[in-house]
Amino acid sequence: MFERFDKVVRCDEGHMFTTIWIWGGSLKAFRLGTRRYQRCPVGHHWSIVRLVDPGELSEAEREAAAAVHDVHIP
């Protein structure tokens, strides 16, 4: 259901992962304009995250980000 909302994001420490990103809404983060404050599952810390343009990533980076997804919504 939420697959179309899965987006690659980067935290302030540079970790990349996939999260559900719904414009105008947030299920598990605090919205801060175009950024979110949420838990980073890679570094296990809370951080500001921002969307990453998938066109700027290598195939290996896209695969690495897709391999780590934050909490799935049932």
pTM: 0.83
Residue 36: Cβ within 10 Å count: 20
Domain that holds residue 21: 3-67
Residue 27 lies in a domain: yes
Residue 46 lies inside a defined structural domain of this protein: yes
Comparing C-alpha atoms, which of 11, 21, 10, 27 is closest to residue 62? 10
Residue 74 lies in a domain: no
Q: List pLDDT tens digits, range 9-66.
A: 999 999 999 998 887 777 678 788 889 999 999 999 999 999 999 899 999 999 999 9
SS3 state of residue 65: helix
Domain count, the chain: 1
Q: How many CB atoms lie within 10 A of CB 69?
A: 13
Domain assignment present for 15 = yes
- The predicted pLDDT at position 72 comes to 65
Task: Provide the token pair at 74.
Answer: 């049932």
Read off the pLDDT of residues 24-40 as tens digits, 9 standing for 90 and up: 777 678 788 889 999 99
What residue type is 41 in one-letter code? Answer: P
- Name the band, by pLDDT with cuts 50, 70 and 90, for residue 3: low
């690659």: which residue's tokens? 8
